[in-house]
């Protein structure tokens, strides 16, 4: 049995999440980036929740573009909730004209973006569920850690009542978000 590598090892190779006896080497100083897509999963909304708050802290030294979606699962329409964005505490110009859609925003380096989503038809008690989805850029994938890249964005979400108090059961912190695939 020949244990030698059958790849063209004198070429530059980047091995991402593959099992191989071939050596790992870099193609260039620029590594590919794997998007970081996260979900809370369906959350049962506390009856006192009036606003869903999503905080996104850009901890990197460069601007990062994120997409935030807050989906109302009260009915089969799975509608996007209307949102308002605040950068460093200041309201941003209205991002929605007409039907609400996912919010895409570029967060400057070392800044905090806060998104407020407003549940519609909050009076419908039959199935008051919602989901927060966030797509953020991933840090470059290093061959040593292709599965869990270091994410430059720290995200959290809370459901708050009309006076700003977080509601029980509606808090999801950064490490509680689940990695997902957006289609």
> 127 or 26, which is more confident?
127
pLDDT at residue 120, rounded to an integer: 80
pLDDT above 80: residue 11: no
Q: By the 8 A CB rule, do 79 and 105 touch?
A: no
**Distance (Å, whole) CA 117 – CA 81:** 6
Residue 137 has a pLDDT of 73
**Are 53 and 40 a contacting pair, CB within 8 Å?**
no
Highest mean pLDDT among 18-22, 123-127, 143-147: 123-127
Over range 28-35, report the average pLDDT.
Answer: 53
pLDDT given at position 76: 76
CATH 1.10.3470 fits 36-179, yes or no: no
Instruction: Dig out the tokens for 119 from the structure.
Output: 């549940």
User: Could you state, in order of their start, the residue ranges of all structural domains in the chain?
Assistant: 36-179
The pLDDT tens digits for 86-122 are: 998 898 876 556 678 899 999 999 999 999 999 886 6
- Decide if pLDDT at 143 tops 80: no
pLDDT at 89: 87
3-class DSSP state of 176: helix
3-state helix, strand, coil in the chain (%, to 5): 0, 35, 65
């Amino acid at each position: 049995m020949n244990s030698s590598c059958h790849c063209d090892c004198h070429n530059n190779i980047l091995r991402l999440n593959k099992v191989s006896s071939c050596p790992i080497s870099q193609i260039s100083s620029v590594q590919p980036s794997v998007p970081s897509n996260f979900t809370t999963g369906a959350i049962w909304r506390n009856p006192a929740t009036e606003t869903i708050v999503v905080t996104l802290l850009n901890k990197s030294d460069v601007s990062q573009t994120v997409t935030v979606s807050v989906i109302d699962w009260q009915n089969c329409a799975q509608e996007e909730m209307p949102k308002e964005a605040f950068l460093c505490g200041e309201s941003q110009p209205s991002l929605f004209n007409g039907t609400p859609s996912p919010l895409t925003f570029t967060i400057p380096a070392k800044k905090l973006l806060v998104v407020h989503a407003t549940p519609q038809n909050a009076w419908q008690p039959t199935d008051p569920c919602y989901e927060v989805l966030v797509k953020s850029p991933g840090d470059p994938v290093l061959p040593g850690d292709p599965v869990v890249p270091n994410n430059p964005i720290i995200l959290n979400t809370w459901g708050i009542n009309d006076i700003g108090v977080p509601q029980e059961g509606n808090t999801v912190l950064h490490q509680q978000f689940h990695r997902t695939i957006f289609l």
